[in-house]
Chain A
Amino acid sequence: MIEFDQVSKKYRRKEVLEPFSLTIREGSAVGIVGPNGAGKSTFLKLVASLDRPTSGKVLFDGKPYEKVVRQVRSEIGYVPQDIALYEDLTVKEQIAFWRRLEKNKVDEDFLEKMVGMLRLDEVYDQRIDRLSGGWKRKVNLCIGLMRNPKICLLDEPTAGVDLAAKEDILAWLKQLHKEGRTLVYISHDWYELKALSDEFLLFAEKKPIFQGSQGEWLEKREELLGRYEDDRELRRILEFS
């Protein structure tokens, strides 16, 4: 379980997240949605221990992050929004490189299964810079999750990919959630969010303004629409849900 207790984040003097508290339950699938600049990616980096809060505490199973950072990092798999891969390497070389760097023992069966589910064996010998956006996203996902993590953090894992690639990715993420892993992911696609999430987290005005199940979301939607009628981008998100 991951808890945020009055956490805020500033970059120099600019506040990107105002103080907030929330909890991510073990085994849940949390879909994060919100307008650009609402603090979604910063929140995900705080969960991943790649950034530190300016104030407040992040707790992992009740212990402060700074005391258990190695344990946190060994249990987390992070898929960034950027295609964080070496473009000159082939898919095979890429997987080999990241596997060599990996501190955790890589579960070969899990890796093989993921490569099969994402159909990466079809492009094994191709260089990353010669692959389409969809394939790159799939390799990015594979590298981020190759350690078979308990908590999967994904920042727009299907952004800009074609339908076939999206189906492969969603099928794999559903499989991971079914096996009991915690999923926390950012998306702008309601179809994807509804298909995967058992909980939504809505960010606006630099903090989470809603956390709850799909049913609770439907109950609160009208109220939120009324409260944020001046925020065009947020209104559009709520209307499309």
Chain B
Amino acid sequence: MLTYLFLHLNKWKKRPFLYVLLFTFPLLATVILYPLLKNTADETAVPVAIVDQDDSGYSETILERIGNSERIRFTVMDESEAEEAVRKGSMEAAFVLEDGLESALNEGDVDDVITWIRADESLFDVYAKEAVGAEVMRLAMSARAGLRVEQEGGSFEEAFDYSEQYWEPEPLFQMSFSERSPENQAVEAPKLESWQVLIMQVFFLYGWVLAIFFLRAVQDDEREGRLQRIELVQQTKVNYFISHFLLFGIVGAGSFLLGTSGLFYITGTERELVLAWLGRGVVVMAVTLFVTWCLFMGAGRKRWVVPVLVLVALASFMLTVSDTGFTGLWPHCLLEKGG
């Protein structure tokens, strides 16, 4: 096999950029496109204006905590600027942290400490309203606990901090949601995001098609008489076909695995999920490539076989992604079931 590997490496090294690019395209696409996708996601965060009239420790804490939310993008403005921005539509809403917020919260009073400015066109500001409200409520509860303890002769700060710890890293009392689908009544394990599965499907298609195009090297060897020469020189064609099957597998599975591993690494996917999906991906790819090779050999390695196999690969992807019902045993469908 090494002789043939060196042969192809020798051929590829004449146009190194093209072949490296072809092989690593999914990985490069992930590395290049992921920050753009992430920026797009950032840009879809709800834009809100915050007017800090209290300018206190509590208002600073609220700003800091809201800033940690990926779904809210806030800008500090004065009240007139904020009203103008909401009116023009550049901000979904504005929240005015009223003067006296800290002293009101210390007394356990949560009424009228925040003013919510919105326009008729505002749609997504409700989420921001919930987030700001939750932070105010959190501070109010901790302050109320501190006040109560202080009245009993204890320290306000100690009680405040003691109460706060029950919110980190997540609130102590949380609603526990479990997802349920009609097919599966049980609680489901963690899943890949649907866009991650889609990208994996694209990488699978890419690896498969790349491997199919590699088959043209075998067709060329046969058409141009090199295979006959190899048969005489080696006294058999078996080694040639075994080596080229292995190289065909390396091209297809290698490109797929490289791209998918890069995707998982960059998105910080859980190890358990990575192993499960990569394992399944390798098995489905190996079976797919084996069947593809058998079809190629069975059809006599004719010239029309390559375009037909590419069409089969595209059909597998399109029918699975469009979910038209004609899925059955398509490789992409088997891959998707891994989730």
Which residues on A are within 8 Å of B, measured CB to CB? Answer: 45, 48-50, 69-70, 73-74, 76, 78, 80-86, 88-89, 93, 97-98, 100-103, 127, 143-144, 147
A86-B7 in contact given A101-B233, A103-B234 (Cβ < 8 Å): yes
Q: Which of B11, B229, B234 contacts A80 (CB 8 A)?
A: B229
Q: How far is the CB of A112 from chain B (nearest CB, A)?
A: 19
Docked CA distance A97–B7 (Å): 7
What B residues does A80 contact at CB under 8 A? 225, 228-229
Contacts A/B (CB < 8 Å), 17 sampled = A49-B232, A50-B228, A76-B232, A78-B228, A80-B228, A82-B225, A86-B7, A88-B10, A88-B11, A89-B7, A89-B11, A98-B233, A101-B3, A101-B233, A103-B234, A143-B229, A147-B233
> Interface residues of B: mostly helix, strand, loop or mixed?
helix
When A and B form their complex, which 9 residue pairs have the shortest distance between CB atoms, in order from nearest?
A: A84-B225, A82-B225, A88-B11, A80-B225, A73-B235, A84-B226, A84-B229, A100-B3, A101-B233
Docked CA distance A207–B181 (Å): 75
* B 4-46 contacts with A by CB, 8 A: 6-7, 10-11, 14
Establish whether residues A102 and B233, one from each chain, have CB atoms under 8 Å apart when the complex forms. Answer: yes
Establish whether residues A86 and B233, one from each chain, have CB atoms under 8 Å apart when the complex forms. Answer: no
* B 205-224 contacts with A by CB, 8 A: 224
What B residues does A73 contact at CB under 8 A? 231-232, 235
> Does B113 touch A at the CB level, under 8 Å?
no
Q: How far is the CB of B5 from chain A (nearest CB, A)?
A: 11
Which residues on B are within 8 Å of A, measured CB to CB? Answer: 3, 6-7, 10-11, 14, 224-226, 228-235
What B residues does A83 contact at CB under 8 A? 224
Q: How far is the CB of A109 from chain B (nearest CB, A)?
A: 19
Establish whether residues B14 and A88, one from each chain, have CB atoms under 8 Å apart when the complex forms. Answer: yes
Which chain B residue lies CB-closest to A81?
B225
Establish whether residues A85 and B226, one from each chain, have CB atoms under 8 Å apart when the complex forms. Answer: yes
What B residues does A69 contact at CB under 8 A? 235
Q: Name which of B3, B224, B233 has the most chain A CB atoms within 10 A of its CB.
A: B233
A86-B3 in contact given A73-B235, A102-B233, A147-B233 (Cβ < 8 Å): no
Establish whether residues B226 and A78, one from each chain, have CB atoms under 8 Å apart when the complex forms. Answer: no
Docked CA distance A110–B226 (Å): 23
Q: How far is the CB of B164 from chain A (nearest CB, A)?
A: 69
Which chain A residue lies CB-closest to B11?
A88
Docked CA distance A69–B3 (Å): 24
Which chain B residue lies CB-closest to A48?
B232
